[in-house]
Structure 1
Amino acid sequence: MPGPADDDRIPEAVAPHTLSDFGYGDLEKGKRIGTGGDADVYRATLDQDGYTYPIAVKEPRFEGTIRKRVFQRFETEAETWESLNHHENVVSVYTWGAEPLPWLALEFMDGGTLEAQLGSIDVAEALWLSGRIAEGIRYGHRHGVAHLDIKPTNVLLRDTPEGKWDYPKVSDWGWPRCYWTTPIASRESHRRMPRRNSSTPRSTEAPTISPTSTNWGR
């Protein structure tokens, strides 16, 4: 009997767009599409080389002056999330910055959330989805990061051709527990993005993890 790995509805992995460097001022920010914790997510667009690309932009929610701890926490989230960029089941970070406010530019997930699909997924698709989600979480673990907030609203989907299942990616790495024994990323390189035709992608070799890394719970 065929298993979920043999189903012809399984899609190919959906990659993020490959974009040249851009800044906050290059984005045309639209409506808010998500909210949670102390941040909001907006749908934005970016014009490059004659194409208009959808981008998800995450910003902290605040009133008045932004506190220093908000900057620090947002920077930690950005560095942590960006360090997991090279897995097909993790939502990609394009770039981020702190001016005119902390912001994070993310792969736009046009298929919505897994939560919205609950009740309409058959057993084969549920098994396949579970495996792909687990691979994304495992990749974080291998790189010293535990997500700590996995739920259907934090699993986002990319649209695929008709007759194929939507492709899942784990999002919202904003409350991770890190087990790194060295800094997550160089401060000087935190705004770098993969460029077109790059022949030197960032290394995905897992760093040395401390003995406490076997405990992934709170």
Structure 2
Amino acid sequence: MKKVGRYELLDPIGYGGMAVVYLARQLDLDRRVALKELRVFQAPDDPALAERFLREARMAGSMSHPNIVTVHEYFKHEGTPYIAMEYLERGSLRPWVGQMTVAQTAGVLEGLLAALDHAERYGVVHRDLKPENLLVTDQGQIKVADFGIAKARTMNTNSFLTAVGTTVGTPTYMAPEQAMAQELGPYTDLYSVGVMAYEMFVGRAPFGETETPMAIILRHVNEQIAPAHTVSPTIDRELSDWIDKLLIKAPSQRMQSAEQAWDELEPIVLRLLGSRWRREARLVTTTEQPAARPLTPAPFTATEHETPVPVAPSDDFDSFAWDPAVDQAPDPQPAAAQPPP
């Protein structure tokens, strides 16, 4: 078997435009890892390119959070950068899209927004959020992958180009300002969250009928996305309005932080599902959900910017440990709709 540093390659488990991902065994610790080979950053005419990428990736990928995939090591082997990270056997969220309950979708969004809230503290914008970069844990939660390929926005806010000269990101989930190589921020990732939320609730992504990547990008830049409730009338109107706020074209008018996005979504979830919604939120493969194991609330961290006070916040919002007393509380009364920011 091929060896790369202290890793033995077992099987390829993923392919993309920038990388190949292998299931590998770390020989010194005898554990399985996901090893990402980033050949796109190997440039014979620029030997320092790989080193520059690794330096930037270490900064963006050094974050530790329950909803972020753990990175074990960044290294270079024969001029090619590699990232060794925890291996999550259940794979990505992609097979679940369009198949989840409202509670499960809310659990995915809570974990995703908690991860982005943590990244904001480091000035990191992911730039390529999509279901393929959300991995499912054995416990039925999600973790965000590939923060290490993101670039700290304190380094260069104008654009992030790969070695082959293309803007990082996936057209279906790309914010207008990213497509136009303008300044990026947390609001850029929130547009991608809005696209994913739309896809999870409606069953298809906006502009899903459009075939070519460039045409999709142009539509994101120029065309308004039909509100989710007009495409799927069963979607709650307030929930649809929340998605609309994430999909506003102008970054300055969009929600500005992940914490704000969750503050506005949480009371909607409580109104629709009640305080015990996390009991049904795990991504499980069986039809029965263990009543004693609700989804653990995702941890959010206080940020410097002001955020709206939610109408009906859960008492366990700031705790990563589930409090049984909270789960025994009566369901709250319907919450009033939040005014737009």
TM-score, normalization: structure 1?
Answer: 0.62
For each residue in 1:103-137, what CA deviation from the matched residue of structure 2 results, as whole angstroms up to 9, or x when unmatched? 11111111111112113211111101100111001
Distance 1:74 1:64 in 2: 12
Match for residue 149 of structure 1 among 80, 104, 128: 128
Distance 2:135 2:90 in 1: 7
Q: 1:171 maps to which residue?
A: 145
SS in 2 for 1:38: coil
SS in 2 for 1:98: strand
Q: 2:114 maps to which residue?
A: 135
Match for residue 32 of structure 2 among 54, 74, 84: 54
Distance 1:153 1:45 in 2: 23
Distance 1:41 1:94 in 2: 15
CA RMSD of aligned residues (A): 2.9
Q: 1:38 maps to which residue?
A: 18
Compared with structure 1, are the counterparts of its residues 132 and 109 closer, same or farther at alpha carbon in structure 2 (3 Å cutoff)?
A: same
Distance 1:107 1:66 in 2: 32
Q: Which has the higher contact order (CA 8 A, sep 6+)?
A: 1
TM-score, normalization: structure 2?
Answer: 0.41
Match for residue 74 of structure 2 among 96, 101, 109: 96
Q: Is the 8 A contact 1:78 1:104 kept in 2?
A: no
Give unmatched runs, 5+ long, in structure 2.
156-182, 189-250, 252-341
Q: Is the 8 A contact 1:29 1:43 kept in 2?
A: yes
SS in 1 for 2:5: helix
Q: 1:79 maps to which residue?
A: 58
Q: Is the 8 A contact 1:43 1:56 kept in 2?
A: yes
Q: In the TM superposition, what is the alpha-carbon distance from 1:47 to its structure 2 partner? A: 3.9
Q: In the TM superposition, what is the alpha-carbon distance from 1:24 to its structure 2 partner? A: 4.3
Compared with structure 1, are the counterparts of its residues 53 and 127 closer, same or farther at alpha carbon in structure 2 (3 Å cutoff)?
A: same
AA aligned opposite 1:32: P
For each residue in 1:119-160, what CA deviation from the matched residue of structure 2 results, as whole angstroms up to 9, or x when unmatched? 321111110110011100111111111112111111111113
Distance 1:44 1:78 in 2: 20
Distance 1:66 1:30 in 2: 31
Q: In the TM superposition, what is the alpha-carbon distance from 1:215 to its structure 2 partner? A: 6.1
For each residue in 1:166-195, what CA deviation from the matched residue of structure 2 results, as whole angstroms up to 9, or x when unmatched? 121111121334237xxxxxxxxxxxxxxx
Q: In the TM superposition, what is the alpha-carbon distance from 1:32 to its structure 2 partner? A: 1.4
Distance 2:66 2:95 in 1: 21
Q: Is the 8 A contact 1:156 1:169 kept in 2?
A: yes
Q: In the TM superposition, what is the alpha-carbon distance from 1:60 to its structure 2 partner? A: 1.6
Match for residue 121 of structure 1 among 87, 92, 100: 100
| Greater per-residue helix proportion | 2
Compared with structure 1, are the counterparts of its residues 215 and 28 closer, same or farther at alpha carbon in structure 2 (3 Å cutoff)?
A: closer
AA aligned opposite 1:176: K
Q: Is the 8 A contact 2:43 2:49 kept in 1?
A: no
Distance 2:112 2:187 in 1: 16
AA aligned opposite 2:39: R
Q: Is the 8 A contact 2:21 2:36 kept in 1?
A: yes
Distance 1:97 1:126 in 2: 35
SS in 2 for 1:153: helix
Distance 2:67 2:23 in 1: 21
Q: Is the 8 A contact 1:113 1:153 kept in 2?
A: yes
Q: Is the 8 A contact 2:124 2:150 kept in 1?
A: no
Give unmatched runs, 5+ long, in structure 1.
1-22, 161-165, 181-211
Compared with structure 1, are the counterparts of its residues 61 and 143 closer, same or farther at alpha carbon in structure 2 (3 Å cutoff)?
A: same
AA aligned opposite 2:145: S
SS in 1 for 2:66: coil
| Greater per-residue strand proportion | 1
